[in-house]
Amino acid sequence: MANLIDGKKIAAKVREELKSRIDKLKKKGITPGLGVVLVGDDPASISYVTGKERACAELGMFSRETRLPAEITQEELLALIASMNEDPQLHGILVQLPLPRHIDEQKIIMAIDPKKDVDGFHPVNAGKMLLGQDCYLPCTPNGILKLLEESGVETGGAEVVVLGRSNIVGKPVANLLFRKANPGNSTVTICHTATRDLKAHTLRADILIVAAGRARTVTGDMVKEGAVVIDVGVNRIPDDSKKRGYRLEGDVDFSSVSEKASLITPVPGGVGPMTITMLLFNTVAAAEKSV
């Protein structure tokens, strides 16, 4: 039976380390500031943004949320971002995705000053990451690396299989794990919807990272004995027995996979807490660079 990788516990440790850095900045008259833009009223996005604001408050950071109607024009949103780029009180800017269909997400991401791109999505930061240069790393992939590091997982020379090729998780986490660094220095395979014989790939994995976007994509028979499994997925499954009318499940069939794995992240409580924590980490780093 697998041991759980406790994302909440590891996130709390990282946040505790951030407190001393924030205190040092405040002694210099600087309070790390995060500007969050939420367009529309998607429940999942609202919940996520609320969690980010609560985390900022707990660490004594400044946060400013701007909620906009779904009907806002792209030009109006770009104008807001331009003003945030110039605001010295904001060291980091986050535009919550997804955006309404009439807005070009890439244009919005491009409009954010790379020095304030604490999500790590701007092509400047993505390119620097690919080249191994100093930059803001995407929050979820960086959080995954931290989970592996804090759990004592040896990544050097390990066979890593990543399910999913999104710009947010799959591509960057694969890049970070094959770079010559620690954690990293792994042999990485990326699998996706066109992969033939997915099971043959997943059975080779010493470390399996699942960001497929579909519940129970990976089952116990697809995982080798002793593998480390990182479940990035968050799926709402209708469940009348729950007060909210649904339960959260990952992309991994937890009950069967946990029988084979040595370590596994739960959903919720695994990768999720790390994503928000690494956003705070990037914002504090941005504030430090502004000194």
Determine how many CB atoms are found less than 10 A away from the CB of residue 276: 21
H-helix or E-strand spanning residue 281: helix 271-289
Q: Looking at 6, 26, 28, 96, which residue is catalytic?
A: 96
Known catalytic residue: 128? no
Q: Looking at 119, 231, 251, 253, which residue is catalytic?
A: 119
What is the DSSP code (8-state) at residue 160?
Answer: E
What's the CA gap between 116 and 136, in Å, rounded? 9
SS3 27: helix
What's the CA gap between 202 and 205, in Å, rounded? 5
CA atoms in the 13 A half-sphere facing the CB of 224: 13
Beta bridge partners of 39: 68
What's the CA gap between 47 and 38, in Å, rounded? 11
Instruction: Judge whether 214 is annotated as a binding position.
Output: no
CA triple 202-6-227, angle to 5 deg: 20
Instruction: Judge whether 166 is annotated as a binding position.
Output: yes
Known catalytic residue: 74? no
Known catalytic residue: 8? no
Instruction: Judge whether 164 is annotated as a binding position.
Output: yes
Instruction: Judge whether 165 is annotated as a binding position.
Output: yes
262 with 151: CB under 8 angstroms? no
Binding site membership for NADP(+): which residues? 164-166, 234
Binding site membership: which residues? 164-166, 234
What residues are labeled active site?
A: 52, 96, 119
